[in-house]
């Protein structure tokens, strides 16, 4: 039997089932509740699935930024770029590039939105990421995204402050770099978005998408998927120290 309870120490609902039931996936419990006509309980558990996965998701995002801050403080911030590049080009972005290169831009967005819904963006951290179609591109609006944006602004759901201040004091770029959108003050965590552009430029001439990074954490960021590579403005190449291909 599912038992969602809040406690003084855990200030949100958490499953406090019988021991034998705790290991059962919440999705299965929702399915059983629907089959048995317990629809109110099924809805309650469906909404519970969002915070159920939030703690581990947020912990690892915070941990990555903490790692990068340690690397920068110990070895200099150029080492942050090298560490991020080494991991992204070897598998993460390499895998994405191979897959996305076979897709039309609409398919790329469908798959990206699947990721973003689970990334818990938006003001209530429910995965809201509006898609806006413009003449030459589609824009995914992060207000905020569930990682860099949440950490830059602070987390209203958990009641924790921005990670750039105490008790976290996570680092940002001290100088402008081609791998930080040509800007200083960019969180070390967020440079992976810049590398998401740089690596495809090196492999195929153009980024798969561009990041609409805003230095003001209270303003939305976004990803722009251009309908044709030639529509991508020159400025997005220049900020990475590159020239747009003819």
Residuewise pLDDT in 10s, the chain (246 residues): 678 988 888 888 899 999 988 999 999 999 999 999 999 999 999 999 988 989 899 999 999 999 999 999 999 999 999 999 999 999 899 999 999 999 999 999 999 999 999 999 999 899 999 999 999 999 999 999 999 999 999 999 889 999 999 999 999 999 999 999 999 999 999 999 999 999 999 999 999 999 999 999 999 999 999 999 999 999 999 999 999 998
| CA proximity to 190, closest of 215, 162, 209, 166 | 215
Residue in the block written with tokens 């561009």: 210
Helix (H) or strand (E) holding 224: strand 221-226
Contact 208, 200 (CB under 8 A): yes
Crossing angle for the helix pair 105-118 and 93-100, nearest 10 degrees?
Answer: 140
Q: 131-133 and 137-142 as β-strands: parallel, antiparallel, unpaired?
A: antiparallel
Contact 187, 225 (CB under 8 A): no
Q: How far apart are CA 56 and CA 59, in angstroms?
A: 5
Helix (H) or strand (E) holding 31: helix 26-35
Q: How far apart are CA 151 and CA 158, in angstroms?
A: 11
Verdict on whether the full-model pTM lies above 0.85: yes
């Amino acid at each position: 039997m599912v038992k969602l309870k809040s406690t003084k120490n855990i200030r949100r609902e958490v499953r406090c089932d019988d021991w034998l039931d705790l290991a059962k996936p919440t999705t299965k419990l929702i399915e059983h509740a629907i089959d048995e006509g317990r629809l109110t309980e099924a809805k309650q558990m469906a909404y519970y699935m969002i915070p159920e996965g939030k703690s581990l998701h947020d912990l690892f995002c915070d941990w990555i930024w903490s790692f990068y801050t340690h690397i920068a403080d110990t070895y200099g911030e150029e080492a942050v770029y090298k560490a991020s590049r080494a991991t992204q080009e070897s598998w993460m972005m390499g895998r994405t590039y191979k897959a996305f290169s076979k897709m039309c831009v609409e398919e790329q967005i469908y798959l990206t939105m699947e990721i973003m819904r689970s990334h818990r963006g938006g003001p209530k951290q429910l995965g809201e990421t509006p898609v806006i179609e413009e003449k030459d591109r589609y824009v995914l609006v992060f207000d905020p995204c569930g990682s860099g944006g949440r950490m830059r602004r602070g987390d209203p759901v958990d009641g924790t402050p921005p990670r750039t201040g105490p008790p976290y004091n996570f680092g940002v770029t001290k100088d402008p770099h081609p791998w930080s959108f040509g800007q200083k003050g960019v969180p070390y965590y967020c440079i992976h978005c810049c590398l998401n552009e740089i690596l495809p430029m090196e492999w195929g001439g153009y980024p798969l998408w561009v990041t609409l990074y805003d230095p003001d954490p209270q303003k939305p960021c976004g990803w722009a998927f251009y309908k044709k590579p030639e529509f991508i403005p020159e400025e997005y190449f220049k900020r990475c120290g590159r020239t747009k291909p003819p």
